[in-house]
Chain A
Amino acid sequence: MSATLVKIVAREYRDSVSLMQLSAMLGKLPGVEQASAVMATENNLALLAEAGLRVDAKGAHASDLMIVVQGEKSALPAAIEEAMKSLTRQTEDNGGEARAALRPRSIQMALKVAGEANMALISTPGDYAAAEAMKALRLGLNVMLFSNNVSVEEELALKQFAREQDLIVMGPDCGTAIINGTPLAFANVVKRGPVGAVGASGTGLQQVTVLVDRLGSGISQAIGTGGRDLYQEIGGISMLKGLKDLANDPATQVIVLISKPPAPQVAERVLAEAAKAGKPVVAVFLGADPASIARKGVHAVKTLEDAARAAVAIVKGEKPRDSYADMPDLPAGLPKFADSQRYIRGLYSGGTFCYEATLLLGELLAEVHSNTPTRNAHELADVWQSHHHTLVDLGDDVFTRGRPHPMIDYRLRTERIVKEAEDPQTAVILLDVLLGYGSHMDPASEFVPAIHRARTAAASQGRSVAFVGQICGTAADTQDLARQSRALTEAGMLLTESNAQAVRLAAAIVAAGVLPRGGH
């Protein structure tokens, strides 16, 4: 039911533009059908009556401003209040805007506001990131340095100073951490539990923490060290500190170390420290021979999945296995491949997943090409063109120049999916799907149409392509793991528990697919 409300503002002279703006503003408020801001002259009062607006404006003079709003009864008092605020603001605003409350402009200012703070998360452009990190350290804060483009010299200076202050620098280029149960930057929501992790790889940490959660255990702390921490120049300062902190942490029962193989001297130092930790340590140095790493107190494994499974086994009081790499059973209903279809095409958004995949596939198959090459795989000659078995890290600089990372922007990947499907030699397309904070809000919404387009393209030339992959995410992640799973499965994707399993499954399919099988 339409109602009218009027407000008289005595002796109020406003120029016509202001009055017009006021009317326009009021007319747009929710619940307001029409609004007028006019001088309270006799004729205007009469006019309102003629327009069917009953207003009580006793004692109003021609020099008064009359604000009339008509609309939903409940919305009108708020509208009048808005009008009065606008008029007062105009008085105060004579030429200047009211100043907003000052937000902290520096870490030091923020520290005053924050009260209890123990950490700074820094994601400024690389040129300035090291200085910000130094300030944080000087103010007694631990640092997570997400920014990259920080020089080795700067990193060393920061980590040496941090060491003197008994603080940690996680980074530079540290994309993942979970501290006190809070996921930071690109990280998943995982249960709290007794497994602690220190890793030089962001996606490596994501895989291990997600698997630990899915296996029924939980994470005490997940510490990132940045990709260069274990180089000779840096000497593993952050990994050593993380290791020490977890060793001293009562809530941590098992420690997992994740990295590519460190420089030899650094590896020695780290492993020596691990052996003294006083609690079981599981180490996965991707690409190193576990035998060369293993020692008393350190259980060495080959894959990220192995590390997670071993850690959970230890927590349960079981003896951890050296390897959990069971060859998968081939699922029923695999596509019938054409003779030309022989190869796996892996399209990765996580560099570490691509690297692990290259390592594993290189052992299982010949002629593996990758832009994250290993001992038994070739460097991919042209990243835009697949050749034989090809694994591509789409997060590489050459792809990300001028566009967002593939964890967020799927366009390059979805286009490449279709392109690979159109290639008569493609049998299996291998993918990683990342959930958690920082990742795409709804990966399935991008993949499913791409998969359909790819299938259609292949089908038009009489081929079927297999899609294999893993979702690196937990039930608590905001993307709704179950729904993502369902959508991708319905689109025909074969989902595994981990990256390593996906690689093994893809290899198995291709090996089996050399022989023609019955169609579905």
Chain B
Amino acid sequence: MPWPQSESDGGRCATSHGRLGVPCVVRADRIGDRVPVFASGRVHSVFEHACNIETRTGELVTLLAQDLGNVPHGIRLAGPVAPFEPWLIPGQNAILDKVALRVSDAGMTVDLSGAAVWRGGVAAVAIDTRNATRAVALRELRTTLYECAPAQGFAPLLAAPASTRSSVDRAVAARLSHTLPLLARATEQRDVTAVAAAAARLVGLGPGLTPSGDDFIVGYLAALWSRAGHENGIDAMLHSLADSLAPLFLRTNAISRQMLSDAAQGRFAERLIDVTGAVAGMGDVVDATANALASGHSSGADTLCGLLFGYAPDMAMLAAPSSPHRPPGQPHLRAARLERRAGRAAALA
């Protein structure tokens, strides 16, 4: 007579019991709508609160700790989570199906059965320069961005002259001052080729695990998708752009590529979506901006630069507010709110 099986043995994997000698099952509460239904692959990269799994087809599915916002290709875990790093190692095999994500080499199973699907589409907003509310919202976005942005990435270069910076920073600033006006004009004229050409100058550019240029492009696309419902020609441009941009995305790393690819399809991270919602009048702009700045190191700021630019492609709009002038990163009331809101910097980039 076999011994009675325990009900909680669910998730036991075929091979070893992993590091701790016991199998473990965790539950997911959200699954992004871009996560494939079936896939097999390997662990690609592991960070403290996130882990990327690369599928055979080259997509990246991201396992997220609870305190991070959702992303289109993400599976977010319910409940507090130990750091991923001792558990998961790049190269471990992973299998994804409707019910679970299993990383057998780590003895870990993510139970997807209770996870709700999360859709990362932006809020539609009409940017009408005659609309005072929109203008105020954009100004608040800009002010918060420049007051709270870190010293890396595009934000400080756009805010202040780069004369005292390193030669690398000066080169980045030079590129931006050359490329962004081209991008502005191309957007105005709905010129897909020109937009792609400008994007080509930005892809993979700058510091960060997701380079600043990539974050900027994502923000820019978010703004366009946001405007698409209310302004002529943007919708069509975006659809053509998806094809034109795809080859460019190969010029950056896999993590950034997935993010860009989702953006080209109109799917964005939760915190970025919240900012678009706030600009559209559905939330507090300062809070949403502060929240978005809390993710990554300069990723959030670079993305918001792109967003701002996408809403109002205009170097003047992008420049730091003239009054009252504060160099980027100075503490301020808004920064205090940022700190209260910020958890750990997201390891997504």
Contacts and interface: CB of A to CB of B under 8 A. Distances in A.
Nearest to A38: B207
B206 A44 contact: yes
B214 to A, nearest CB: 9
Interface residues of A, number: 30
Contacts of B349: 15-16
Given A13-B45, A39-B211, A53-B168, A44 B152 contact: no
Given A41-B204, A50-B175, A13 B209 contact: yes
Interface extent on B, as a size class?
35 or more
Given A14-B209, A62-B253, A42 B171 contact: no
A51 interface: yes
Interface residue SS majority, chain A: mixed
A52 interface: yes
B167 interface: yes
Interface in B298-321: 298-299
Contacts, number: 113
B346 to A, nearest CB: 8
Contacts of A53: 167-168
A38 B206 contact: yes
A27 to B, nearest CB: 8
Interface in A46-94: 47-48, 50-53, 62-63, 68, 70, 94
A17 B297 contact: yes
Contacts of A13: 44-45, 47, 209, 253, 255
B168 A36 contact: yes
B166 to A, nearest CB: 4
A14 B297 CA distance: 12
A94 B205 contact: no
Contacts of A20: 152, 207, 297-298
Contacts of B296: 15-16
Interface string B250-268: 1111111000000000000
Nearest to B153: A16
A51 B48 CA distance: 34
Interface in B175-207: 175, 201-207
B299 A16 contact: yes
A39 B172 CA distance: 15
Interface in B11-39: none
Nearest to B251: A42
A474 interface: no
B283 interface: no
B208 A19 contact: yes
Contacts of A499: none
Contact of A41 (B45, B83, B203): B203
B345 interface: yes
A41 B253 contact: yes
B345 A39 contact: no
Contact of B201 (A38, A43, A51): A43
Nearest to A52: B167
A41 B85 contact: no
A95 interface: yes
A496 interface: no
Contact of A34 (B86, B152, B168, B348): B168
Contact of B205 (A16, A47, A68, A70): A47
A284 interface: no
Contacts of A147: none
A351 B48 CA distance: 62
B42 interface: no
Contacts of A68: 168
A63 B254 contact: yes
A68 B255 CA distance: 22
Nearest to B297: A16
B172 to A, nearest CB: 6
A197 B83 CA distance: 65
A34 B166 contact: yes
Contacts of B250: 62
Contacts of B255: 13
A63 B85 contact: no
A419 to B, nearest CB: 47
Given A37-B207, A47-B168, A17 B345 contact: yes
B170 interface: yes
A300 to B, nearest CB: 75
B299 to A, nearest CB: 6
Contact of A44 (B48, B211, B298): B211
Interface in B60-84: 83
Contacts of B172: 47
Given A16-B349, A42-B204, A43-B201, A63 B168 contact: no
Contacts of B205: 41, 43-44, 47
A44 to B, nearest CB: 6
Contact of A50 (B171, B208, B251): B171
A48 B168 contact: yes
A446 B348 CA distance: 59
Contacts of B299: 16
B347 interface: yes
A216 B171 CA distance: 73
A38 B168 CA distance: 11
A289 B168 CA distance: 85
Contacts of A390: none
B213 interface: yes
Nearest to B214: A41
B174 interface: yes
16 contacts: A13-B44, A13-B45, A13-B253, A15-B348, A19-B207, A20-B152, A38-B208, A41-B203, A42-B203, A43-B251, A48-B168, A50-B175, A62-B204, A62-B251, A94-B85, A95-B83
Given A20-B297, A95-B83, 5 more contacts: A13-B253, A15-B347, A42-B251, A47-B168, A47-B171
Across the A-B interface, the 3 shortest Cβ-Cβ residue pairs: A41-B204, A51-B171, A16-B297
